[in-house]
Structure 1
Amino acid sequence: MHRRSFIHHMSLGAAGIALQPSFANTPKNAAANKLVLSLIGCGGRGLSVLSGIVAVSDDIEVKYLCDVNETLEGIKTAIDKYSKAQGYAPKFTGNMKQVFDDKDVDAVVIATPEHWHTLATIWALQAGKHVFVEKNPTLSIWEGRKMVEAATKYGKVVQVGFENRSATYAFTARDYIKSGKLGNIVHVKCYNMLGGGKWMPEADTSVPKGLNWDAWLGPAKKVPYNPNRHSMTGRGGWLDFWDYGGGALSDDASHVMDLARLALGDPGHPKSVYCSGGNIAFHSEKETPEFLNITYDWGNGFAMTCESGNFTPYMQKVPGEIRFSKTEFPFWPQTSTRIEIYGTERLMYLGRHGGGWQVMEKDGKVVDSHKDIFPDVFHHQNFVEAIRLGKPANGNVLQGHLSASLVHLADICYRTGNKQLFFDHQSERFTNSEAANKLLKGNYRAPYAVPEKV
C-alpha cells in the first residue's frame, strides 16, 4: 500500500470524524467581546501559558488563579500583574470547583501534573468552559477516550498543549512529505535523548504548610507526603511515578511523536508496539525507566521508533537562540529532540519547538528547508481564535489522545515485560495480553474518579 493511501486508511479507521465545536461556543461575554480566563495549576508553565493567551488581545481577563499549594511565589506576582493590567485583582482559590462554578469564566488553562489533566478537563467541559490543557493530556488510553467523548458531548474547544500543531514548519513538512518528494516513507526515528542523573529515594515527611496534599493526590491513591513526589518550590519529581505521569516519554517525547504524527498525516493507532530498556544507565530505583527503545508498527506502512532517556549530557534540545531564529537550524546529530524521516528518495530532519526542517541528499547536500520560531504564540492565538470563531483548535483532543496513546502503549509494554503487544484500534484493547489490558485504565480514588459516563 502506498504511504498516502495508508495514512488515509489509518486516519479514517482509528481517528474517526473530526471534532467540530459549534458556533454556540461564542463566550458568554461576547457582547463586550471579552474572554474571561482562569488558571488551574500555578507553576511556571501554567503561568507562562496563561500570560501567552492573555497577550493575544486586550479584551482577555483573568478571574481566578487556582492551586493546591498556596505558597507558590508566582501567585502573588501574577495577581499584582493582572490587577494592574485589568483594573481588578484575580481571586486565588485552592478549589478548582469554585472556578468551574463561576458562570463568568469562559475558559480555563489546566497546567497541573498529568494525573489531574483528564478529570479537570471533564469537569471544566461539564461546566461549559473551553479548555487549554497541557501535555501529556492523559494518564491512560481509557482517559483519552473519555476526554474525546466529553469534548464531543459538550461542544467546547479543547486545545492540547502540543504547540507544534500550530507551527508553520509542521504544516510545510506535512505538505512536503505528502508531495512525494521524499519518496515512499519507510522508516521514522524519533529521539528524546536528554541529560539526567541517578534518582535517589527520600524519606516520607509531614505535609508542608500551605499544601493540600489530599487534593494534590486527587485521583491517585492515598500515600504519605514525599519530597520525591512533590516540590513546594518547583516542578518536583512526580514524573518518576506511574500514578502521576509517564516519565521522560510523556514529558518530552510526547511532543516529538506528536509532531511526527502530524507531519506524516496523523495516522491512527499503530498495530503493535515493542520496547526494551529500563533503569540501565544509573540503576535508579524509580518507577519510570531511565531509557526506552520503542518500535511502533502500522502494518503495511512505515515503522517508527522512539529512543527516549535521561542519560546523555552531550545531547541538547534546540537552543533558545535557534528556537527564535527564522534562519538558523540546529546541529542535527546532537539535537536531542529530533525526528528523522527516511524516504526512498531523500531524508528529512525535523525539529520540535522551533527546530524547523531540512531535506538532504548524499554528502549532506541540503535540497529543501523551512524554518520558523518556537510556536507557543501561534498555539495561544489559535486557541482564542477557535473559541471566538467556533472552529476546531489545531491541537484538538482527538489528535491529542492518539499522540498520548503512543506514550501509554510504550509504557504498558515496558511495565508488562517489554513484550510485543498487538493493539486493536477500534476497541482500543490489546489482543495478546490481559495483563496489558489491565493497564489501559487507572484506579481512581473517591471523590476524584474519572466518570464512566461523561
Structure 2
Amino acid sequence: MNRRQFLQHSALAASAVPALGFPTLVPASVFGKNAPSNRVTVGLIGTGRQGYGQNLQGADLKAIVARIPGLLDLADVQVTAVCDVDSWRMDKAKTTIEAHYAKKAPNGTYKGCSTHRDFREVIARKDIDAVMISTPDFWHVPMGILAAKAKKPISCEKPLSMSVHQGRALVDALKKYGVVNRTDSEFRSIRPQNLAVELVRNGRIGTLQKIEIVFPSDPTPVPPQVDMPVPKELDYEMWLGPMPYVPYTDMRVHTPFDILKRPNWMRVDTYAQGMIANWGAHYFDMAQWANNSEYSGPIEIEGKGEFPKSLWNSMINFSVKYRYANGVEMTCQQTPTSKPSIRYTGSEGWILVEGYPGSISASNPALLGSKPSGDELDLSKTLWDKTDFVEAVKTGRKTLEPIEVGHRTISISQIGLIACQIGEKLTWNPEKELFTGNNAANALLTAPLARKEWIV
C-alpha cells in the first residue's frame, strides 16, 4: 500500500467521525515497521506575504496563545514543493523550508523542496497529497477547481472568489469529486472570537438581535501609475493568468523584494474586492456562525460606498445593512479612521470583540466566564486552521470551515458590494443565490474571466 492509498483507506475508515470531532491520529507503529508514513505532503501554491508568512511559518499571538502554527510547525506535514510566479519569493520560501527540515535531519542537510512556476505541475504530482492555495484572490477558483478534478485536498486562502457564481462553481466541483477542503482562516480558532460565538449561540445575551461590524481603514488610493519594465524575477503573463493584459506597474502587483508589505493587488477591483471582502471573510464568517446561518445568508441588503477613480479603485468608506429572515440586523462600515471590531447585541446584553487577535468585553463581565453545559456549543478546544485541515486530510472528516462556508461568507461581501454599486435596496434569495426582481444586480453575480483557457 502506498501513502496515497493509505490516506484514502484512512479516510474511509474514519468517515463516521463527527464534523467537530478531534480524532486521535493512528500511530505508524500500528501497521508494523513497513507501514506507510503518516506524514502528509503539501504543495504550497503562492509564497507571498500570507503564503510565506502565516501559512508556512505561523504567527506569534502571545496575547492568546504562544503561536498560530504554520505548516512547518506540524510534525505530520512535509512541504515538498513551492510555486510562485515571482522567483525571488519562491526561492526564499524554498530556502526557509529546507533550512527548517535540515535542522531535524541526522546529517544536518535537506534538499527535498522543488520549485515550480506553473501551479498545474504541483497539482499533477502524484507524490503531493494536498495543496495550500495562497495566491491573489482572482486565482483561487481556477486553481481550486483544477485541484478538485485531480482529487487533491485543498486549503484555500480567503476571500475565496471574485463572484457568487465563481464561488458556487468551486463548491460544486469539490462536492462532485469528493475532495477534502477548507477555507483557510484562523479566526474560528482565536479564542476571543470563537468565545463570543459560543456565548451568543448558547443564549448568554438572550435572543440575538443585531450584529455591528467595523472594518479597518484603507490607505489613500494611489493615482494612475506609469508603465514599468517587468522585473526579471516575475512571470507577469502567468501572474495575470485569466485577467486582461495591462502594462506592468508594481502598484498593481506587489512591491519587488518585499515579502512583508501588504500586496498592492488587494486594492485593485480586477484582482480583489477591497476591505469588505478581505476583512469580511473574517467578520462575516463570525457573524454567520453566531447567527447559525453559515449555510445560508441575509434576505435584504442596502448600502453605499465610495469608488475611487484611481489604480487602487476598490470600494472604501462604505456602510452596508443586511437583514436576515430571523429578524437579525447586521451592519458593516468602514471610515478613514476605523479600527476592526464586531459587536453582538441580544435581548439581554451585548458582547464586543475589538482588534486583532481580539480583546473581548461584555455588558455583564460575568458572561465571559460562563461555561457550556449539556449539549451547548463548546469551542474551547477548536483546532488551529492548518492542524484542522491536515487531520481532515488524514481521516476524511469534514473540516471546521469547509469551502461551502467560506463561499457563503464571501457571498455576503459580494452582495453588499453589489448593493453599493446599484444604489438600491436589494432582496436576496440565499437558497437560489439570486436577487429577486433586479436583473442589473443579478448580472453582477458573475465575474467573467477574459482569457478563456483559464475557465475550468
* Unmatched tracts of structure 1, length 5 or more: 1-20, 316-335
Give how far 1:222 is off.
Answer: 1.8
What's the counterpart of residue 323 of structure 2? 297
What's the counterpart of residue 138 of structure 2? 115
What's the counterpart of residue 12 of structure 2? 23
Asked if 1:257 is matched to 2:287, the reply is no
Residue identity matched to 1:233: F
What's the counterpart of residue 237 of structure 1? 264
What's the counterpart of residue 234 of structure 2? 211
What's the counterpart of residue 202 of structure 1? 225
Give how far 1:441 is off.
Answer: 1.1
Question: Counterparts of 1:214 and 1:391 in 2: how far apart (Å)?
Answer: 38
1:331-363 CA-partner distances (Å, limit 9, x unpaired): xxxxx22111111210111347532533214xx
What's the counterpart of residue 14 of structure 1? none
Distance 1:168 1:156, change over 3 A: farther
Match of 1:71, SS? helix
- Aligned residues: percent identity? 26
Is the Cα–Cα contact under 8 Å of residues 72 and 79 in structure 2 kept in the other structure? no
What's the counterpart of residue 386 of structure 1? 392
What's the counterpart of residue 5 of structure 2? none
Asked if 1:133 is matched to 2:156, the reply is yes
Is the Cα–Cα contact under 8 Å of residues 215 and 279 in structure 2 kept in the other structure? yes
Match of 2:283, SS? helix
What is the 5 A alignment of 1:43-82?
A: 43-48=48-53, 49-51=55-57, 52-72=69-89, 74-82=92-100
Residue identity matched to 1:392: K
What's the counterpart of residue 418 of structure 2? 412
What's the counterpart of residue 60 of structure 2? none
From 226, 229, 232, the equivalent of 2:249 is: 226
What is the 5 A alignment of 1:284-433?
A: 286-309=312-335, 311-312=336-337, 336-351=339-354, 353-355=356-358, 357-361=360-364, 366-369=365-368, 378-416=384-422, 418-433=423-438
Give how far 1:210 is off.
Answer: 2.0
Residue identity matched to 2:415: L
Question: Counterparts of 2:435 and 2:158 in 1: how far apart (Å)?
Answer: 24
Asked if 1:440 is matched to 2:445, the reply is yes
Is the Cα–Cα contact under 8 Å of residues 41 and 80 in structure 2 kept in the other structure? yes
Is the Cα–Cα contact under 8 Å of residues 349 and 357 in structure 1 kept in the other structure? yes
What's the counterpart of residue 190 of structure 1? 213
Question: Counterparts of 2:411 and 2:391 in 1: how far apart (Å)?
Answer: 27
What's the counterpart of residue 300 of structure 2? 272
Question: Counterparts of 1:61 and 1:179 in 2: how far apart (Å)?
Answer: 39
Is the Cα–Cα contact under 8 Å of residues 183 and 406 in structure 2 kept in the other structure? yes
What's the counterpart of residue 375 of structure 2? none
Question: Counterparts of 2:235 and 2:369 in 1: how far apart (Å)?
Answer: 47
Is the Cα–Cα contact under 8 Å of residues 351 and 362 in structure 2 kept in the other structure? yes
Question: Counterparts of 2:176 and 2:355 in 1: how far apart (Å)?
Answer: 32
What's the counterpart of residue 7 of structure 1? none
Give the structure-1-normalised TM-score: 0.80
Distance 1:285 1:61, change over 3 A: closer
Give how far 1:74 is off.
Answer: 2.6
Give the structure-2-normalised TM-score: 0.80
What is the 5 A alignment of 1:168-187?
A: 168-187=191-210
Give how far 1:56 is off.
Answer: 4.7
Distance 1:176 1:79, change over 3 A: closer
1:183-213 CA-partner distances (Å, limit 9, x unpaired): 2222110111335224222112232212111
Question: Counterparts of 2:199 and 2:345 in 1: how far apart (Å)?
Answer: 13
Question: Counterparts of 2:429 and 2:395 in 1: how far apart (Å)?
Answer: 36
Is the Cα–Cα contact under 8 Å of residues 187 and 342 in structure 1 kept in the other structure? yes
Q: How many residues align?
A: 399
Asked if 1:246 is matched to 2:273, the reply is yes
1:235-270 CA-partner distances (Å, limit 9, x unpaired): 431122222101111122321121121122235121
CA RMSD after TM alignment: 2.9
Is the Cα–Cα contact under 8 Å of residues 218 and 445 in structure 1 kept in the other structure? no
Give how far 1:412 is off.
Answer: 1.5
Is the Cα–Cα contact under 8 Å of residues 56 and 380 in structure 1 kept in the other structure? no
Is the Cα–Cα contact under 8 Å of residues 340 and 356 in structure 2 kept in the other structure? no
Question: Counterparts of 2:356 and 2:84 in 1: how far apart (Å)?
Answer: 27
Residue identity matched to 1:117: H
